[in-house]
Structure 1
């Protein structure tokens, strides 16, 4: 304020203190963008991945994750217990059951992964157990999720390489049996699910047109109806929208897992 009590008339002062006109609108927009950017940077600092949130597109992880949930994810090696598998940061269902370690209602880690060249959204499913190249893993598996009792009658058996066997909590078979995904290599894992917020992911799904995907009784365009939970990852080149926190992703909430990005579960 000047000595005579009037507001300075320079452009910066008019922008900062104006109460009418277009400058007010521009100032409010810039303030909102800055706030969103700061929230995004904070989430990235905590999670270590971008986007840090995913929106769930389908029901293969029910009842622990449902369509429209927004799921916060982190790098696999953040906040991981000492009994995670090797240096992957991932706790399998098998190990989680032995160590009384549960996430989202059942033992083990729920991971967001995307096999290279598979197209579509990432998948958000539970890591059931880890296999080694050449391993006959049928004896370690739950027979209820297999089409046969011997390795010869089970896809991806013996294991073609080291990786994880995965499954949606609501699905009838392992992903590697139903054709949703091959054995999941650790380098394909984008993140580990930590927190879910119901309903917030629907905004992201609307913008990505994921709400048009029909899951029950048919395919969702990427995997069969028994397949993975889809998520979209905001900010990911694999999605159709640009990701900012508040863009209603996670799908990874600023991000796609079969969770913003969008991800298939």
Structure 2
């Protein structure tokens, strides 16, 4: 009998101590699966969302997020500062500028959202303003991202309901102006980006069955979500980004590039994905 009270010929003992043959292969596979499962459970415990990672599929958030980044996200109200908007856990660019709160190079929170019935993948863009039903939000917006200085000609103005105005950092217009998305309701927000790891998201993008790059003169900002991983690189830069007056939203990264959106794709059983953002 062995020290554990088992005979060396016991099937379990042979399986655990085998040095060659199929038993070794099966044992290594089971060990790897268990390790991945434990990591996934830990990430879920920390993030509160599943999948907890997304892989960025396009360049609408450049230079702060690149295609192929793996981004770790959390439930919106986790780790949110006290000045986040209401109980949403989201800090807008407008508020972030006045409070000195920034992530990924600019003020405010970068969110992963997916309007119902829109098809495709979730989108990962920055929350710029929070608006209320009936509000003429153009008066508070940055005119550089608008086709006009009034509500006329903008379908999302006045706001049809409470929600967020969003924009990719590299895009020339707000999502609600370019047609990427309607005003974003808080219940459509899957998570808030916290950390990015360059290149790891390519694992998800390479093996994804559908890498969606929607075009509006350029690729939309899509992200691919991942069960075991997503896009992430370095910790989000809290305090980074220009601190600007809250009276009128300003742009710290002027650009004349075409409108894009970052999508996320769910990643099931693989690392990284993009809210084609989030199944990083």
Q: Paired residue for 2:279?
A: 261
Query: Matches of 2:173 and 2:267 in 1, distance apart?
Result: 34
Query: Matches of 1:203 and 1:131 in 2, distance apart?
Result: 37
Are residues 1:96 and 2:105 paired? no
What are structure 1's unaligned runs of at least 5 residues? 214-219, 252-256
Shift of 1:225: 4.1
Q: CA RMSD in A?
A: 2.2
Equivalent in 234, 248, 256 of residue 271 of structure 2:
248
Q: Paired residue for 1:160?
A: 160
- Per-residue displacement from partner, 1:15-60 (whole Å, max 9, x unpaired)? 1111111000000000000000000000000000000000000000
Q: Paired residue for 1:75?
A: 75
Query: Matches of 1:13 and 1:199 in 2, distance apart?
Result: 42
Provide the TM-score with structure 1 as the length reference: 0.86
Number of residue-to-residue matches in the alignment: 244
- 1:37 aligned counterpart, secondary structure: helix
- Per-residue displacement from partner, 1:170-200 (whole Å, max 9, x unpaired)? 0000000000000000000000000000000
Provide the TM-score with structure 2 as the length reference: 0.82
Shift of 1:7: 6.2
What are structure 2's unaligned runs of at least 5 residues? 229-263
Q: Paired residue for 2:171?
A: 171
- Per-residue displacement from partner, 1:79-103 (whole Å, max 9, x unpaired)? 0000000000000000000000000
Query: Matches of 1:97 and 1:12 in 2, distance apart?
Result: 61
Give the conservation status (yes or no) of the 8 Å contact 2:204–2:267: no
Shift of 1:258: 5.9
Shift of 1:226: 4.6
| Change beyond 3 A, Cα 1:33–1:197 | same
| Change beyond 3 A, Cα 1:55–1:35 | same
Give the conservation status (yes or no) of the 8 Å contact 1:113–1:191: yes
Query: Matches of 1:185 and 1:123 in 2, distance apart?
Result: 13
Query: Matches of 2:160 and 2:227 in 1, distance apart?
Result: 32
- 1:192 aligned counterpart, secondary structure: strand
| Change beyond 3 A, Cα 1:73–1:82 | same
Give the conservation status (yes or no) of the 8 Å contact 2:224–2:276: yes
Query: Matches of 1:241 and 1:10 in 2, distance apart?
Result: 43
| Change beyond 3 A, Cα 1:100–1:242 | closer
Are residues 1:224 and 2:216 paired? yes
Give the conservation status (yes or no) of the 8 Å contact 2:120–2:276: no
- Per-residue displacement from partner, 1:77-133 (whole Å, max 9, x unpaired)? 000000000000000000000000000000000000000000000000000010000
Shift of 1:233: 1.6
